[in-house]
Structure formats: structure tokens, C-alpha cells
Structure 1
């Protein structure tokens, strides 16, 4: 569980928080007492190209508040620099500070799934879809940092968290499709570079990845299961046995944000399973799934047993 009040008085911005890991990060920061500005393109009256109408920025803000924090929804397209600038100016005007920036904007899964999955070579893949994926997963992050970091670095102690899919170790293998590979490796490199640029200012940047994430889309779109019967998905993919809820990543980020020695992680690629062993938090079922270690051992032919990785 997240320690109540450990982040009281802290101001956070979670970009791209309508669903998945970023939504859970926002909620767990709120559970620790933070004021959390949450952004996204899907609202009560507008649905983004991802097409998941029930996952809204307002809904996330309500969950943050219900968890014990203060959730503030600010509909924002992070490809539109004027919108991002206005967002940061609003945070400055209302709070005068920014302590935690979580950059979890993505929304590109539908592009590679619709383009035949992760099995097309660069010259066979749809160019427009690929470039859109990079804009959603990389350019949005750069724009957000450009406008948010001057506020975050105004005082020492700020924390920047890039969110991706895969550890730096795992990303030494090719992810099977050029655009997806680039989009998912970029946050790792971005955190490393920001770590170099921020350290002299007393701030920290890291990249974090969930393990095998049981996101809303993964459950209902890819495996056709619910959180209650998720283990049925193991029939489709044996590695799904080590999957975790989005809350696990949320608790990882809340633990980082509350750590007075968080600078020890500066520039590094981290995973939820790795951090659970350091900070002691668990997933909702009380376990500590180490998804990436399990997956890497499985792909190496070591035949891992689920119970040894929880």
C-alpha cells in the first residue's frame, strides 16, 4: 500500500493519464497525498483516435481525489505546443511549483496492431502509421519536457519519470518492428540524457517500465478477459502468468517520489518488479511479480516457474 500523506504538499503532472500505467501512477500519487494534474485527449465529450471512450481524463482525476489526493483534469494534446504551454502556465499560476513530472504519453498501440502487428519490415510497414507512432511516443515527450522542465527545475528535488515498455537490458533485443522499437527505447535514452542535464540542478530523471501489464486494453481487447478471471489469458500466452496490475507501477513511482535519496537512481532504467524489492510495496494481490526477469529467462529457455518470480 502507498503510505498516506507521504507526498502531501507535492505537485505532480502525469501526462497521458487516461488509462493504463499512467492512470494508476496518478492515482497512487494521489493516494500518497499529492495534488495531481492529469492530462489526456479523451474527455467526457471528446474521444481520441485510440477510441476508448470510457477512459477519460476527468475519470482519472476523480480516482485521484477518491484515493486521497487532489485530482485536476486538464484535457491536453501533447503534440500541440500551445496546449502544453498553457497547461504548465496554469500549474505555475495555481501552484507556483512542479515537483513530479510523469511523462507517460503513448496511445500508439492501435497503429502497429492495425498495420499487421510486429512482423513487418521497415520498408513494408505503413510509413504514415510509423511516423504517427513516433510522434505520439517520442515527440509528445520532448514537447512536454520543453515546457514543464523550467518549472520543475525552479527548485531542487524535482523528479522526472519517463514511462516505457521494457527495461534497458531487455531492449538490447529487437522489438520486431522499427517504429515500435524506436518509440519504446527513446524514453530510456531520454531519461539518461535528462539525468545528465538535471543533476547539477538537484533534480532526478529515471525511466520506469511495468512488467507484463494487465492494462484495461490488454485485458478486454487482446486477451478478452477481466481482472477477475485474468488467468484465463495464460492459455493464449504462458508468460501472462507473471502479469501485474497497473497499480504495481503506480506504487513504484509513488515510492520513488517519496524517497529522499531518489537521486541514486538518476538516469537509470528501472522496472516495477525491481523497485518492489527495494521499497517493499506489493501488487494488489500482495505479490511482487518480477515480470521482465521472468520473460527474459523464459525466452532464454530456462523454463521459469511463476512462484519463483513473485
Structure 2
């Protein structure tokens, strides 16, 4: 797909690390100009207090073959988002792809009922995971609809089918609400975009080998299979590039509109479009999770790759 997005402009809101970085990099590999936003810069860390920066992401985009542009933005602040979109319009005159990957994973309160969760963190997670998405779309879509064929991707964790059947108790109520909201946000935006030739979807990666996940299990992307502390299910994990390739596949599909308002997964789209992860496999994490992990059965993750 190299060069297929040459001349196209993308905004990846939340591109500092994880899925956002993987998506930005793969869009760059396809030739796009990518504005990657976040709050962690080389000059100042955000409250994540991690080393990854938006400048690093921009460099990865450029090295991949695109043009990476890092912009520090707090997407819960409307004025900052307005200025960002005005800048994109003045510099590029267009916006073709919007990826909303604002989640606040550092605000997790694992395995606690609502009355034991940190209320401040929970409400902040709603602001980042829902309110910031709405603020970003409010300003960005007015630019995106100026050309037909625009794509909006709402990143989430789990498909709509998963969320209909299961309460994501491991993350608690705030986590569950944010991840479910992505499907409704995609559906609402899809309804409003289709008359302008645009498409909106919700998209979930599987078990993501993010920087934080690799650090947790004491491995790197080069040796992740060698972890001695990760559970068996880590064997179905995928790189951030995998979901990035899913976004590129959508953005380069001449029949993109067929997916409007749909809930999609990286594993599902890999089978449709034929792309693979960096190791050449096609991990179907959500099928493994539902058929094996959540049913308490034995299963080999390699059978789902």
C-alpha cells in the first residue's frame, strides 16, 4: 500500500504511543501527511509520565515515507482543538482521515466496583474518552466534509458484539462506558457524514503490544514471545502496526462506504483485505478471547494467528 495515500491528510488524535503511534506510522508508510497530537513532548511529559513523545511519532511517520507533524494538543480544551484544525486547513487545505484515539489508559482502576473506584480518575476518563472525541469531531469534521470520501475512526477496546454480551468488569464501569460509547459515536457520525460522502467506523485492536504492555512483561517487540511473566493469552497479542494497517486498508478501499457505522476489528479486517502483522501472521484476538479465555477453556493462541 506504499504511496496509496500520497496527497491525503490525516489527524491522529492521541498519537504519542500505542495504537495511535502504530496507526500514524502506517499512514505515513502509505504516503500520508499525518498530524499526530498528544500532550507528551520532548520538553514536557504529560501526567502519563512516560518517555514517548509526539515528536518521536512524527519522526517515525516521516521515516516510514510520509510527513509527520507533531502538535501538542489537549483535546479536552476546545480552543486548542479549534486552533489545531485551523492550522491543518491553512497548511493543507484539507482533512481526509480523522482517528480519535483518546482514551486515558493511565486512569484505569483495575478490578474494582464503582464504589471503590477513584471518582476523579473515573470522571476524567469519561472526559478524555468521550468528551474529547466529541470536541475533536466538532471542529475536524467541518473540514473533513469539504471533500467526499473522508474517513473517521473511533478507536475502542472490543467490538460492539463483545460489549453487548459482556460487561468489561476488569476495567470497571468507567472503562466499559467509554469503550461502548465509541460504537455509538461512530454510528452517529456515520449518519451525519454519509450525505457528504464520508464514512465513520469504530475499530478495535486485539491484545495490543503497546509500550506499556511490553514493559509490564519485561520484553521488547523483538523478543516478546520470550516473556516469563506474561499469561498464555499474550501469545495472541498484536503489534500497534497491525491496527495501523487496518486503518490504511480502510482508507485506501474504493468501496469504503460499505463499512459506514460498522464495528470492526483488526483481525476481522486482516482476513478481508489480506494484510498481516509484522511477523506475517493474522492474529484474531477477539475470537480467541471469546472462545478460549472467557470460557475458561484451554487453547493455543498460535491456532488463532
1:194 aligns with 2:189: yes
**Once the 2 structures are TM-superposed, how far is the Cα of residue 302 of structure 1 from its aligned partner?**
4.7
- Name the counterpart of 1:308: 303
SS in structure 1 at match of 2:35: strand
Tell me the residue number matched to 2:150.
158
Would you say the 8 A contact 2:235–2:302 is kept in 1?
A: no
SS for the counterpart of 1:161 is: strand
Paired residues in the alignment total 301
Q: TM-score, normalised by structure 1?
A: 0.94
Give the Cα separation in 1 of the matches to 2:55 and 2:81.
Answer: 17
Q: Tell me if structure 1 keeps the 8 A contact 2:201–2:261.
A: yes
| TM-score, length basis structure 2 | 0.96
Q: Is the 8 A contact 1:297 1:303 kept in 2?
A: no
Distance 1:128 1:36 in 2: 33
Q: Secondary structure at the match of 2:186?
A: helix
Match of 1:82 in 2: 79
CA RMSD of aligned residues (A): 1.2
- Cross-structure match for 1:295: 289
Cross-structure match for 2:233 = 239
Match of 2:60 in 1: 63
> Quick check: 2:217–2:229 contact (8 Å CA) kept in 1?
no
DSSP-derived class of the 1:160 partner? strand
Whether the 8 Å CA contact 1:167–1:269 is kept in 2: the answer is yes
What are structure 2's unaligned runs of at least 5 residues? Answer: none
Query: C-alpha displacement at 1:224, in angstroms?
Result: 2.3
In structure 1, C-alpha distance between the alignment counterparts of 2:201 and 2:54, rounded to whole Å: 24
User: Deviations 1:207-244 (Å, cap 9, x if unpaired)?
Assistant: 11111100001110x22222233224475322111001
Matches within 5 A, 1:1-310: 3-52=1-50, 54-106=51-103, 108-112=104-108, 115=109, 117=110, 119-172=111-164, 173-176=166-169, 177-220=172-215, 222-233=216-227, 235-298=229-292, 299-310=294-305
